[in-house]
Structure 1
């Protein structure tokens, strides 16, 4: 298993409490969240100008899809993975093979 301690992470998540929870979990694993964004425009700026080793990208940011950020990361050759709380990841064809963390919501019906 590769050593992950000290890995610098860009976190892209629009739900504040979820972002804090993820940041805590990543730091417990020894990773360091060096920047975070809740909107695609800010995430694109960070993805372009910031130095980090890995990115965790929420697929849907307040109704806006995160794929422009993923394209920047792919061009910079920075690994990333998607996260989504909407069941199966609604990934565009070009990202169907990208790793994704999927949380399936339970129905209350």
Structure 2
């Protein structure tokens, strides 16, 4: 199924600390019909969005946010039963063992791959 059908109407939290990358990712998600929540460039901003968002259907988390790890956001999403993926430029082995079943997608951003692993 194409990303446009998978993301259509879904509220997707985007957590990314690089402004240019975040804009590109947000544009791709919006093109696919998603309602982008964020993007959040910091751990604090992401946690605030998770706490305040009435609806979240999924999330894309950059693992390293300017030296802070996004694991507290992952935990908050788990508590709400929101599916998410980690997006990173690093190898899977760098992800905490606390998240063995969370999909990891490598940068650069691949919307089709993210759709498959998050909602597949």
Query: Does TM, scored on the shorter chain, surpass 0.5?
Result: yes
Q: Does 1:94 align with 2:98?
A: yes
Q: Which runs of 5+ in 2 are unaligned?
A: 109-120
Q: Which runs of 5+ in 1 are unaligned?
A: 105-109
User: What is the CA–CA distance in structure 1 between the aligned matches of 2:62 and 2:42, rounded to whole Å?
Assistant: 10
Measured on the aligned residues, the alpha-carbon RMSD in Å equals: 1.6
Q: Deviation of residue 103 (structure 1)? A: 2.6
- The TM-score normalised by the length of structure 1 is 0.86
Identify the range of structure 1 (14-23 vs 28-37) with the bigger mean alpha-carbon deviation: 28-37
Structure 1 runs of 4+ aligned residues shifted over 6 Å read: none
Equivalent positions of 1:78-89 (< 5 A) are: 78-86=82-90, 88-89=91-92
Equivalent positions of 1:28-43 (< 5 A) are: 28-43=31-46
Number of residues paired by the alignment? 103
